[in-house]
Amino acid sequence: MAHITLNQYLQQVLEAIDSRDGAFCAEMLSFKHPHVANPRLQLSSPEEKCQQLLEPPYDEMVAAHLRCTFAVSNHDFVEAYKCQTVVVQYPLSFQAHKEENCSSSLCMCGKGKVGDMLEKAAEQLMSCFRVCASDNRAGIDDSKKWGMLFLINQLFKIYFKINKLHLCKPLIRAIDSSNLKDDYSTAQRVTYKYYVGRKAMFDSDFKQAEEYLSFSFTHCHRSCQRNKRLILIYLLPVKMLLGHMPTHQLLKKYDLMQFADVTKAVSEGNLLLLNEALVKHETFFIRCGIFLILEKLKIITYRNLFKKVYHLLKTHQLPLDAFLVALKMMKVEDVDIDEVQCILANLIYMGHIKGYISHQHQKLVVSKQNPFPPLSSVS
Amino acid sequence: MAANAAQQAPTPNWPYGGNSSGESQVHENPEWEKARQALASISKSQNSTKTSPTNHNTQQTGPYQAADSSAMQQQQQYYQQWYQQNQQQYAGYPYPYNYYYPMPPYGGPYPPGQYGVPGGYQTPTTPTGQAPAMPMMEDQSSSYPSQPPPPATPQPPPQSPTSTDQPPPPPPPPIPPPPNAQYPPPPSQNTYSPNGPLPYSPTDSNTMMQGYNSGQIRPGYQGYQTPAYQPPQQQGPGQGLYGGLGRVDAKKPNNSNMNKGGQQLWQRMKQAPGTGAVKFNIQKRPYVMTNQNVPSGDQAPGLASPTATNPSPGSVAATSTTSTGAAQTRPQDWPQAMKEYVQRCFTACESEEDKDRTEKVLKDLLQSRLQDGSAYTIDWTREPLPDLKPKQSRWEAVPQRSQENAIGRGGAIRGRLGARLGNYRNVFSQRSPSSSSSHSSRSSSRSPSPHSRHRDRSRHHRSDSGSQSDSSMSSDPRFPLSRRQQKGGRGRGAERERGRGAAGERGRGRGKANRGRRNMEDLASGIGKKRKGGNAGLDFHDPNREAKKQSRAARFHTKLRTEPLVLNINVFDLPNGTQEGLGWDECPIVGTCQDITKNYLRLTCAPDPATVRPVSVLRKSLIAVKTHWKSNQDYLYACEQMKSIRQDLTVQGVRTDFTVEVYETHARIALEKGDHEEFNQCQTQLKALYKDCSSDNVGEFTAYRLIYYIFTKNSGDLTTELVYLTPELRADPCVAHALELRTAWALGNFHRFFKLYRNAPRMAAYLIDKFVERERNIALRAILKTFRPFVPVEYVQSSLAFLDLDSCLAFLTGLGVTFTPSDPSKIDCKVSSVSLTTS
């Protein structure tokens, strides 16, 4: 397979088409397949050959694909993208095609595109998706609907890159309403839930985010350490917000020690440490897009800190000054009693503290039973 | 007349294949002979047999020529199809139509086109000088001329004066000229044959169109109209003429079918076009019949006579050749296995009826096969023989037909009307197959033809022909029939089969139309006919369907490989390239306008330098706008001026510090007045501009952007914005403030948030104003839920950064907050909280 000639390659494609071997055909058009690196296939003008061997729609696809490999090998990504677009547009007009072909040709699209081509690529994928989604005639077995999830995942990937999460909504709805949603391959489902979980997290729907991301994490293949790590990066903040702190071993296993200090600070109510940790790993967190989420851990940290104050004072009527002292200990600058009230008000409002503030007496009165309910029961 | 006819006749013959009849015959004869013999043994009627051989020869000649120029054949075939369609349509139409409309197309396509131009063109391919061909031609020509005169004369009387008027002039002298000079269409037609398919399509359309104008004369001449007229003529020659055109064939097929299915079948198969002609004949005849019963009877004999006698090989040949020429070409091209298969089919027949059925079935089957090209790939030895019985069982009509046919045979020669009608019906049924066969002939010719062009052309032709027919039909206000027919055709319509379907339905339509017109004739017979016709139609359909199915299946198995080169990639690149080329940067303009102020007009075309201000003027403009703004606060004016400045800058491709200044200025003004749209436009531009031009205000506008993201709650963009914040930028007071504000907002720390709001640098407060209400609302909810039993209004006022107590109270009352009865300065938190959460 290593270095087949063009004729061999085309022959294989032809056989795949004849035998309706969609999977193999997809491979032959895939950019992940080793044949892409084959210099004998990297031609600047493979049209003629392809035309001789293959039937109309396919020859153009294959020719475009080969040209794309050529362009990639020359690091001409724009050209590659254009070629790839030709490949991708074909399944559209060619309805009778098998879903695998559709999806296969697409998975390279992700690689062929560069820069602002992303949005155009998304458009292409979207049109493919419409074709798949509208395939109501074919039987369930070879329906193009099986290609939907793949396309959606690719679209998610692009949308997340270009920060257009709102575009994900119709896609999620499409899958939710699909009767196939539990029958897709596990890999696709893991990917799908990963993205949907992320989206839920950004929408501050942490419960759902946790659900999706947990599914994704537990079903992800165990050999895919990198993927699992990616999932954890989003799962950890969500879990912490919900009160589940990761163990040290877990962080170590997945090389996520950036979270170690954060975890420690939150569970200890150590606001100072948390601030330091956030600043220290700010770039990492920001690049992962979770800085704003981790920032919300401050609220949890306040809660834990105030809980400590409560335990120290051992009373239900806590003077606000005590909290002010605690905050100053954590080197929070320019805090005044009004801000303490504000922070407490937020904690009470969010349900982290059961109680009320007596403005008249400047005291926090907490419930005698379970004044600091466990995080998992809150929100 | 004679001269014209002679010219016309030869040319038509040529295209059809009148020339090289001998060769084709030779080749085909041996093979076909077997089938014929087998058929002949079965067939009883001598006449048919005789005629059939003659036809064969002539037909074969026809194919021959076709072989010479495949393109020609195809064209002809198209022609024929087209012709048929037209004829059918015409047939359906009343006489006048024939005159006006149909005539032109017919005349135009066949004789005229061929004659005028084709004669010249085609002759080269097949030497006109050839003895055999020539005689044939001459005969035909002779027959033609003879016909034309009579028809012309007779026509006038029976038909409308208009038609008469037109036809008469053309008949003798005009005829020749019309093709050449008068009729533009003929030339186009000529183009058909010579050029092949390409010219065809256009010509088809043209012909249709042209047919009206020019064609009228000829058609009348050639005898399309004549057939109708012929009845008055009642003469053999006229029929012969007609037959030559294909009516003879039609009759023959009837007879031949009846008599000796095998040979005739072949002919039909080959001669699909001829069969088409038959259809025409039928139609016309019915007209005749309706109009003049007697003449029709005469005609019938006349028709029969040509077939039986076949004395005029030329005429027969002409007719058969014209129609069959294309078809005959096929048999030559046919794979040997297929021929044998056909033989087997016929030898398996036990009765004539069987043969007839077999014929039909085979026609459809072979046509479809040939069209698909599967005929050349299928293993004919394994192909099951057509199963007639089930079809019979399904469609009872078939047996009826056969009976009718039998009757027709008996009576066809000397006309019982009913028998004739039956024959006609049969003819219809046969026609449709024949028409289909013509299609198949095309296909066969295609497949051998190496050039993709032919195929394409042929396709075009088909489509064109179909469309033309439709258009013609629709265009003619004539009758709903045409529409029905169209619909029917479409409904059936596989692409390729449209022609067939249309033909078949048209046939029906004609029948109906004919009936309507005929009324008189056939109330009784008509019913039977109708039924028959309907049945026939069904039969046709079914075989077609099967063929279609097979063809469809075949498509999947063996698709043709791409003929055109695959070079679309480059094409695809073009749009991108053009898009790239559209930037302002590439076509810099330097304005010459010296006006300091200018109204904004959205550009709809390329800018005129005379109306664009250069940068030096724009600087003055900006200052002027600023001062005007400070003194007058007239936002509309300022905004318009700023936009026109921006436009001039954009048009001239100016991207300098001054540009930044303009945008910043406009952004600030827009911000102050709360003009979202303009502010965002400026922000977008500034973001791009800051990459190129440094500005002291980068921090300020970055801060605005951050705050704006808070306003839109766009955490995603906020995060990406954070990624690009350099430490220097973070140190900027504006940015630092915005970041703090963001933190406070994210944590719900309203106290800090409003503190920052009060201390907002520069114009950030304007931006925060946009969502301060929203944040106050949230904060108030938290406060009301937290404090018990009450909270003083002052606290709320200070916490939520109300400037004075009144505005705070207004805000609170607006939300329906309740104050403690005893002290209006305090809020009853419990009650208010409930009302707030419920509201």
Among candidates B747, B789, B799 on the partner chain, residue whose Cβ is nearest the Cβ of A299? B747
| The pLDDT value given to residue B42 | 55
Residue type, B49: T
Mean pLDDT of chain A: 74
Nearest CA-CA partner of A344 in B319, B52, B785? B785
- Closest residue in B to A18 (Cα) is B557
Preferred mutation among A84, A346, A358, A364 to probe B, highest tally of B CBs within 10 A: A346
Task: Tell me which of A33 and B808 has the higher pLDDT.
Answer: B808
Task: Quick: pLDDT tens for B157-175.
Answer: 444 444 434 444 444 444 4
- The residues, any chain, with a CB within 8 Å of residue B767's CB and separated by 6 or more, are B671, B704, B707, B708, B711
Q: What are phi and psi of A366, to 5 degrees?
A: -105, 160
User: Could you tell me the end-to-end alpha-carbon distance of chain A, in angstroms, rounded to an integer?
Assistant: 56
pLDDT-derived band at B597, boundaries 50, 70, 90: confident
B545 or A10, greater pLDDT: A10
Q: Inter-chain contact A339–B746, Cβ cutoff 8 Å?
A: no
Residue A30: what pLDDT? 57
* Residue contact B751–A48, C-beta within 8 A: no
What is the rounded average pLDDT of the residues B84-112? 43
Residue B94, pLDDT above cutoff 50: no
Please list every residue in chain B whose beta carbon sits closer than 8 Å to the beta carbon of residue A81: none
Round the average pLDDT of chain B to a whole number and report it.
57
Indicate the residue of A85, A344, A360 with minimum beta-carbon distance to B786.
A344
Q: Which stretch of A281-285, B467-471, B684-688 has the lowest confidence by average pLDDT?
A: B467-471
pLDDT per position as a tens digit, B633-647: 888 888 888 888 888
Residue B716 pLDDT > 70: yes
Q: Is the pLDDT of residue B354 over 50?
A: yes
CB spacing of A51 vs B565 below 8 angstroms: yes
* Interval B488-514 mean pLDDT: 41
Q: Which of residues 341-370 of A touch B (CB under 8 A)?
A: 341-346, 348-350, 356-360, 365
d(CA B114, CA B134): 15
Sign, CA torsion B168/B173/B176/B177: negative
pLDDT of the residue at B180: 42
Handedness of CA B692, B696, B700, B706 (dihedral sign): positive
Tell me which of B156 and B698 has the higher pLDDT.
B698
**B497: exposed, middle or buried (C-beta count within 10 Å: 0-12, 13-18, 19+)?**
buried
Question: ∠ CA(B387), CA(B393), CA(B395), 5° rounding?
Answer: 100
Whether A43 contacts chain B with CB within 8 A:
no
**Which tops the pLDDT comparison, B836 or B264?**
B836
Half-sphere exposure of A54 (CA within 13 A, CB side): 30
The predicted pLDDT at position B332 comes to 62
Q: Enumerate residues 725 to 744 of chain B having a beta carbon within 8 A of any beta carbon in chain A.
A: 743
pLDDT above 60 for A372: yes
Cα dihedral B399, B405, B407, B408 in deg (nearest 10): 160
For a pLDDT cut of 90, what percent of chain B falls above it?
A: 0
CA A213 – CA B503 distance, rounded (Å)? 65
The answer to whether the Cα torsion of B194, B196, B200, B202 is positive or negative is: negative
Contact A60 B568 (CB under 8 A): yes
Of A103 and B549, more confident: B549
A342, A344, A366, best to mutate vs chain B, most B CBs in 10 Å: A342
- Are B788 and A346 a contacting pair at CB < 8 A? no
Whether B346 shows a pLDDT value over 70: the answer reads yes
Q: B576 to chain A: which residues are within 8 Å by CB?
A: 82
8 Å CB contact between B786 and A356? yes
- B565 contacts on A by Cβ (under 8 Å): 47-48, 51
User: CB of A56 within 8 Å of any CB in chain B?
Assistant: yes
pLDDT at B786 over 70: yes
A residues 70..89 contacting B (CB < 8 A) = 79, 82-83, 85-86
Mean pLDDT of B701-729: 85
- Give the pLDDT mean for B452-468: 40
Given a cut of 60, whether residue B90 has pLDDT beyond it is no
Chain B residue closest to A291 (CA)?
B719
Closest CA–CA distance from residue A362 to any residue of chain B (Å)? 10
Q: Closest partner residue to B783 among A289, A339, A345, by Cβ?
A: A345
pLDDT band at B120 (very low <50, low <70, confident <90, very high): very low
Q: Which 760-819 residues of chain B touch chain A by CB within 8 A?
A: 781-783, 785-792, 795, 798-799
CB of A27 within 8 Å of any CB in chain B?
no
> Does residue B566 sit at the A interface (CB-CB below 8 Å)?
yes
Q: What is the pLDDT, as a whole number, of residue B296?
A: 39
What integer is the mean pLDDT of A283-287? 86
Radius of gyration of chain A (CA): 27
pLDDT at position B526 is 40
pLDDT of residue A63: 63
Among candidates B462, B460, B513, which has minimal Cα distance to B483?
B513
Find which of A369-378, B46-55, B637-646 is predicted with most confidence, using mean pLDDT: B637-646
Residue (of B266, B343, B335) closest to B62 by Cα position: B266
Euclidean distance between CA atoms B313 and B22, whole angstroms: 13
Provide the shortest C-alpha distance from residue B723 to chain A (in Å): 6
Quick one: CA torsion of B615, B579, A155, A169, rounded to 10 degrees? 60
Cβ-in-10-Å burial (0-12, 13-18, 19+) of B585 comes to exposed
Comparing A252-266, A355-369, B435-449, B739-753, the range with the smallest average pLDDT is B435-449
Q: Say if the Cβ atoms of A82 and B576 lie within 8 Å.
A: yes
Calculate how close chain B gets to A342, using CA atoms only, in Å.
6
CA distances from B328 to B27, B36, B59, B269 (A): 11, 15, 6, 8
Q: Could you say which of A52, A296, A360 has the minimum Cβ distance to residue B746?
A: A296
pLDDT at position B216, please?
Answer: 39
> Does A289 contact B569 at a Cβ distance shorter than 8 Å?
no
Partners of residue B827 on adjacent β-strands: B791, B819
A357 to chain B: which residues are within 8 Å by CB?
786-788
Q: Which segment of A84-93, A139-148, A291-300 scores lowest on mean pLDDT?
A: A84-93
Greater model confidence, A152 or B60: A152
pLDDT over threshold 80, residue B761: yes
Helix axes B523-557, B497-518, angle to 10 degrees: 180
- Within an 8 Å CB–CB cutoff, is residue A51 touching chain B? yes
Amino acid at B65: Q
CA pair distance B813, B827, nearest whole angstrom: 11
CA distance B642 to B624: 11
Going by pLDDT thresholds of 50, 70 and 90, the confidence category of residue A293 is confident
**Which tops the pLDDT comparison, A129 or B389?**
A129
DSSP state of B215: I
Confidence of residue A213 (pLDDT cuts 50, 70, 90): very high
Question: Do the chains contact at B719 and A292, CB–CB below 8 Å?
Answer: yes
CA separation for the pair A300, A310 (Å, rounded): 15
3-class secondary structure per residue, B727-778: HHHHHCHHHHHHHHHHHHHHHCCHHHHHHHHHCCCCCHHHHHHHHHHHHHHH
At residue A362, φ and ψ (nearest 5 deg) are 55, 45
In this predicted structure, the answer to whether residue B98 has a pLDDT above a threshold of 60 is no
pLDDT-derived band at A160, boundaries 50, 70, 90: confident
Instruction: Pick the residue from chain A with its C-alpha nearest to B574.
Output: A82
Looking at per-residue pLDDT, the higher value among B481 and B730 belongs to B730
Interface membership of B567 toward A (CB under 8 Å): yes
Q: Which residues of A touch B826 (CB under 8 A)?
A: none
- Please name the amino acid found at residue A216: S
Shortest Cα distance, chain A CAs vs residue B449, angstroms: 18
Any B CB within 8 A of A48 CB: yes
- As beta bridge partners, residue A355 has A366
For residue range B410-446, what is the model confidence (pLDDT) as tens digits? 434 444 444 444 444 444 444 444 343 334 334 333 4
Neighbouring CB atoms inside 10 A of B623's CB total 11
Give residue A51's pLDDT: 59
In angstroms, the CA A339 to CA A345 distance is 9
CB pairs under 8 A between A and B: 122
End-to-end CA distance of chain B: 99
- In tens, the pLDDT along A45-104 reads 665 565 555 655 555 566 666 665 655 555 554 455 555 555 544 443 333 344 444 444
- Secondary structure of residue B792 in the 3-state scheme: strand
Inter-chain CB proximity B785 and A286 less than 8 Å: no
A212 band by pLDDT with thresholds 50, 70 and 90: very high
Pairwise CB contact (< 8 Å): A349 & B785: yes
Contact A359 B718 (CB under 8 A): no
What pLDDT does B165 receive? 43
Contact indicator for B117, B190 with CB cutoff of 8 Å: yes
Contact of A298 with chain B, judged by CB distance below 8 Å, is answered with yes
Q: Do A342 and B795 touch (CB under 8 A)?
A: no
How confident is the model over B220-226, as a mean pLDDT? 40
Verify whether the Cβ–Cβ distance A295 to B782 is below 8 Å.
no
Highest mean pLDDT among B55-59, B154-158, B628-632 belongs to B628-632
In this complex, the residue of B567, B782, B799 whose CB is nearest that of residue A349 is: B782
Asked if the C-beta of B723 comes within 8 angstroms of chain A's C-beta atoms, the answer is: yes
